[in-house]
Amino acid sequence: KESSPLNLYKFLPQTNCGECGEQTCMAFAAGIISRTRKIEECKPLVDEKNQKKYGKKLDQLKAVIAPEVALVYVGVGDQQLKVGGEDVMYRHQMTFFNKPPFAYDVTDGMNEADLVERVKLIDGWKKFYIGKWESVEMVAVRSVTGDPAKFAACVKKVMENTKKPMILCSFDPKVLKAGLEVSAATRPLIYAATKENWKEVAQLAFDYKVPVTLSVPFDLDGLKGMAQTFAEMGLKDLVLDPGTAPNGEKLQESLQNFIKLRRASVEEGQKDFNYPVMALPINAWMTTKDPVRGAYWESVLAATFVIRGADIMIRHSIEPHSVMPDMHLRFNIYTDPRTPVQVKPGLYKVGNPTESSPVFLTTNFALTYYTVESDLGSNNIDSYLLAVNTDGIGVQASVAGGQLTPAKIKDAFAEAGMDFEKTTHKAFILPGMAAKFSGELDDLYAYKVKAMVGPEDSGRIPGWMEKQWPP
């Protein structure tokens, strides 16, 4: 990809006017690459009255920074989803930007009460993980009756109970049309055009201005041919379904195809084939019909394709044991490796601490902080917890790298207003991995405050407390 800051700089006004808040156009160019700045924030470049001067540069810049995997918008309003839009093969090369939405299925064969209950379950599903609420993002409405009227009624009922974006699933264009009649304004993704129905489905995507999935399982040449045909018709909001093996069988071929598609977009720059890719872990459930085995294989497939190039996926098993491993994996893969996940440094209360409660400390790396906080909270240990600013680095690495030092710990307590004179114990508890600081801290506090050494693993705090607390 040619989008180095120097290359992008060529397309900017190069006046260093500062209107964007950066001191130089080069700094702004670096911000565009990291996607912390948007082209529109360079007012001189996008201003209508400068069209003659900068219009060509603006078009060129847009072309250069277009993501390698095309970006497709599904849904509308504040729940609209970005699908695709990735720039790299591997996370460590920069970052991944748009986590693959999980769409959970409902069908037009469900009775109304079951349908509403499942939609509400999907709509409200959330889990607090490392300081953020994670949820499932979409509803996939599947036609199992083949009846257009029933499908339209089902889509309507879903829309009455959630604002989450939808995928309308049927291979019958008449059924899809009935669904689009009642929902096109919400910009659903349709699934799917196949070798048999592609002409009618292309027409639907064109008429209703919605994104469309092209499904040609295990035939990348066929898929490419269809994508080119759709693009020639002016349909560029495409998602590709290259086929997801339902279980261990053909899994290798599925995986290879997903990798080939990402490589075609990112490394080979195949602009006629650079669309987001859909995985169907639901196939596992549909094949086995055994809830436990199906949920297991769904989770395995979802994990596999979260790691290797799926931009969106349709699933069925919504039990926590099936969703959560993939959700945690997705969270970790789609956090930005350039900036560690952090909590605000400071002194936090866990439960209802008093002057005799223990005082713990850890770093402001979010994963560490929330692990310690949860271990304290779930064991009903009313306490204070200091998060020391280590730029989001964990305890062991920050002790080794110098981001966590005895002086910094003392300063952090002082800044947070911690007055040990007001405690009954005049002590705090170091993480076991920072044990070597205890002597120096005792010196720094002139032996008026005791630095106790806690366990290396916060899960062992309750056992440690039984033996060591109060000091």
User: CB of 21: closest distance to ligand SF4 in angstroms?
Assistant: 8
In the list 4, 10, 15, 63, the residue contacting ligand SF4 (rule: CB under 6 A) is: 15
Dist. CA 370–CA 378, nearest whole Å: 12
The contacts of residue 395 (CB under 8 Å, 6+ apart) are: 362, 363, 365, 368, 404, 431, 433, 434
Nearest one of 48, 25, 49 to 37, comparing CA atoms: 25
CB 179 within 8 A of CB 141: yes
- 383 forms bridges with which residues in the sheet? 350
Kindly indicate which of the ranges 39-47, 48-56, 213-221, 394-402 contains the residues binding ligand SF4, using the contact rule CB under 6 A: 39-47
**Number of chain positions touching ligand SF4 (CB under 6 A):** 15
User: CB of 30: closest distance to ligand SF4 in angstroms?
Assistant: 11
Kindly indicate which of the ranges 9-17, 338-346, 432-440, 461-469 contains the residues binding ligand SF4, using the contact rule CB under 6 A: 9-17
Residue 5 within binding range of ligand SF4, rule CB under 6 A? no
User: CB of 51: closest distance to ligand SF4 in angstroms?
Assistant: 15
Of residues 16-35, those binding ligand SF4 (CB under 6 A): 16-20, 22, 25, 28
Residue 44 within binding range of ligand SF4, rule CB under 6 A? yes
Q: How many residues are given for the chain?
A: 471
User: CB of 45: closest distance to ligand SF4 in angstroms?
Assistant: 6
Peptide bond into 470 cis (omega under 30): yes
Question: Which residue's CB is nearer to ligand SF4, number 22 or number 108?
Answer: 22
Supply 456's token pair: 């290396």
User: CB of 2: closest distance to ligand SF4 in angstroms?
Assistant: 18
| Residue type at position 127 | K
Question: Which residue's CB is nearer to ligand SF4, number 31 or number 340?
Answer: 31
User: CB of 87: closest distance to ligand SF4 in angstroms?
Assistant: 21
Question: Which residue's CB is nearer to ligand SF4, number 12 or number 169?
Answer: 12
Residue with tokens 């005799």: 356
- 343 forms bridges with which residues in the sheet? none
Question: Which residue's CB is nearer to ligand SF4, number 7 or number 16?
Answer: 16
User: CB of 66: closest distance to ligand SF4 in angstroms?
Assistant: 19
Supply 104's token pair: 């959970």
The contacts of residue 63 (CB under 8 Å, 6+ apart) are: none
Question: Which residue's CB is nearer to ligand SF4, number 62 or number 163?
Answer: 62
Nearest one of 423, 421, 415, 410 to 384, comparing CA atoms: 423
Dist. CA 19–CA 166, nearest whole Å: 40
Alpha helices by DSSP H, listed for 334-448, are 366-378, 395-401, 406-415, 438-444
In the list 8, 11, 12, 406, the residue contacting ligand SF4 (rule: CB under 6 A) is: 12
In the list 8, 45, 88, 295, the residue contacting ligand SF4 (rule: CB under 6 A) is: 45
User: CB of 49: closest distance to ligand SF4 in angstroms?
Assistant: 15
Kindly indicate which of the ranges 42-50, 268-276, 348-356, 402-410 contains the residues binding ligand SF4, using the contact rule CB under 6 A: 42-50
- What angle is formed at CA 415 by the lines to CA 403 and CA 422, rounded to 5 degrees? 120
Q: How many CA atoms lie within 13 A of 432 on its CB side?
A: 10
User: CB of 37: closest distance to ligand SF4 in angstroms?
Assistant: 8
Question: Which residue's CB is nearer to ligand SF4, number 14 or number 424?
Answer: 14
Q: Which residues bind ligand SF4 (CB under 6 A)?
A: 12-13, 15-20, 22, 25, 28, 42-45
